[in-house]
Amino acid sequence: MSSFSSINPATGEPVWSGSAATPADVTAAVHRARAAFRIWARTTLPQREARLRCFANMLESRRAVLAEAISREVGKPSWEALTEVTTMIGKIELSISAHARRCADFTGGPAITRFRPHGVVAVFGPFNFPGHLPNGHIVPALLAGNTVVFKPSEHAPLVAELTAAAWRDSGLPMGVLAVVQGGRDTGAALVDSPDVDGLLFTGSARTGLWLAEKFARTPEKILALELGGNNPLVVWHPSDHRAAALLTVQSAFLSAGQRCTCARRLIVPSGPAGDAFLAELVRLIATIRVGPFTDRPEPFMGPVISAAAATQVLAAQASLLARGGIPLVRSRLLQPGTGLLTPGLIDVTSVGDRTDEEIFGPLLQLLRVSDFDAALSEANATRYGLAAGLSADDPALYARFRDEVRAGLINWNQPLTGASGAAPFGGVGQSGNHRPAGFFATDYCSYPVASIEVPELKMPATIPPGLNPF
């Protein structure tokens, strides 16, 4: 059993330390979840709803403690961490509503359809929303009657422990939810477990592709992949440049650019109108406060998840500049040994060999194009398809954009980072496997069973040719 620690990325100070689960620990957790499933799946839906509502009450009573843990482990400003806890609480009633609408038994004559849980499902949590995103899988999975083995990000073990404690104190039976802490080896042991009936994953496209290959020969297991994107934001002659600049900053730099929906590519027309918008954007970027969550006044942006992640972002910036990129604003490391980066904006219009990769941090790539056709073409020049946005006053342009851009989330005059919990969430291409989360997460947490049921066996009125039962 190996030990590991989580580190405050704004200060380098340790936050949590503990032991990583061994393969034997993972096997034991899965077996406990299997035993608990036999009981949990037989509880009534109102009983499960009651447990979820108790969990929501536990979260509400611990809102400040959980938000501080999020800030300490992943660096989010307090205002953003509190918003994450609020979203976790809201997920309960949204999930209950979604289950009622999408998984209700229904009949058609003698045919009836019911929904059953898969069994034991693994949930892998990411670091960027250590509470909200795994919660978005766990809540509908438990509501459907599954049991869960949860492997949180190794960057946020404390958030997971506090969340699990809230579940225990809500009265959730033992074994229904287990947490296995650790890194790659712990996750691999859970993936390889023959007794897991499915995996619900949020994370990088690289890991998602690896998981898809691992599950290719087990079609009986559900695999829900919510991955990243190289998301385009097109700003096309908006009348209010200040509003468009604010939308762009919120799209690109919220959560230090570590939301899977963050804008990675900013597409702007060539010419004076585009220049005027960019001047306003550069001015606004210069005002962004970056710092630890304890800073007052509060920062807009905290750090990226680690000093190593900051190094990767700066290396990506250096590579773009070496290949002809022009810095409008350079990203800089504020303090060695931390993840505190300032936002960057690099004009890559003349970089001919740009790679279609998600740079997971506060680095926005600018592309200047001649017309809206070129903007649409550039927006679709990605193997991903998570989020896309348009800032423009013309409804006809948005109608074209909405119909022609390939993405699972398309916003008009709203930040890309804005998504409704009452709507599906997820992407196409290499941004996922067409199993949208959000309100539709309930769909992959159970499977339909169709039956034709007649209470009394009788001879039919007609008998097929070639049979003589008399």
Segment 10-18 mean pLDDT: 96
The catalytically annotated residue of 226, 262, 358, 445 is 226
* Beta-bridge partner residues of 388: 410
pLDDT, residue 353, reads 87
Assign residue 46 a region (left: φ > 0; alpha: ψ between -120 and 50; beta: otherwise).
alpha
Mean pLDDT of 346-356: 94
Q: Residue 127 above 70 pLDDT? A: yes
CATH number at residue 284: 3.40.309.10
pLDDT (tens digit per residue) in 211-228:
999 999 999 999 999 999
Are 248 and 263 spatial neighbours (Cβ–Cβ below 8 Å)?
Answer: yes
Q: How confident is the model at residue 431 (pLDDT cuts 50, 70, 90)?
A: very high
Q: Quick check: is 260 catalytic? A: yes
Backbone angles phi, psi at 185, to 5 degrees: -65, -40
Question: Mean pLDDT, to the nearest integer, of 319-344?
Answer: 97
Q: Count the domains in the chain.
A: 2
- Write down the mean pLDDT value for the chain: 96
If you search the block for the tokens 């939308």, which residue do you land on?
247
Phi and psi, residue 432, nearest 5°: 165, -175
Residues 55 and 161 placed together within one structural domain of the fold: yes
**Distance between CA atoms of 391 and 231, rounded to whole angstroms?**
14
Q: Is 356 a member of any domain?
A: yes
Both tokens assigned to 398 = 């948005």
**Integer CA distances (angstroms), 164 to 127, 264, 360, 415, in order:** 16, 34, 28, 32
pLDDT of amino acid 1? 62
Upstream peptide bond of 140 is cis (omega within 30 degrees of 0):
no
* Host domain of residue 102: 3-227+432-452
In this structure, the answer to whether residues 318 and 403 fall within a common structural domain is yes
**282 lies in the same domain as 327:** yes
Q: 92 and 64, same structural domain?
A: yes
| Neighbour order of strands in the sheet with 198-202 | 177-179, 147-151, 120-124, 198-202, 222-226
Do 253 and 197 fall into the same domain? Answer: no
pLDDT at 93: 98
Catalytic-role residue among 260, 262, 358, 445: 260
445 counts as catalytic: no
- 141: which 2 tokens? 């999975």
Taken in order 453, 459, 463, 468, the sign of the CA dihedral is positive
- 220 with 121, same domain: the answer is yes
The helix/strand/coil state of 114 is strand
Exposure string for 103-120, b = 16+ CB within 10 A, e = fewer: beeeeeeeeeeebebbbb
From the CB of residue 422, how many other CB atoms can be counted at a distance below 10 Å?
A: 11
Tally Cβ neighbours within 10 Å of residue 411. Answer: 23
- Beta-ladder partners of 149: 122, 178
- Identify whether 250 is part of a domain: yes
Looking at the DSSP bridge assignments, the partners of residue 7 are 14
Establish if 360 belongs to a structural domain: yes
pLDDT at 128 over 90: yes
Same domain (yes/no): 296, 316: yes
Looking at residue 91, which CATH number applies to its domain? 3.40.605.10
- 3-7, 85-89, 284-288: the lowest-pLDDT one: 3-7
Residues 317 and 198 both lie in one domain: no
Q: Are residues 193 and 236 in the same domain?
A: no
pTM of the model: 0.96
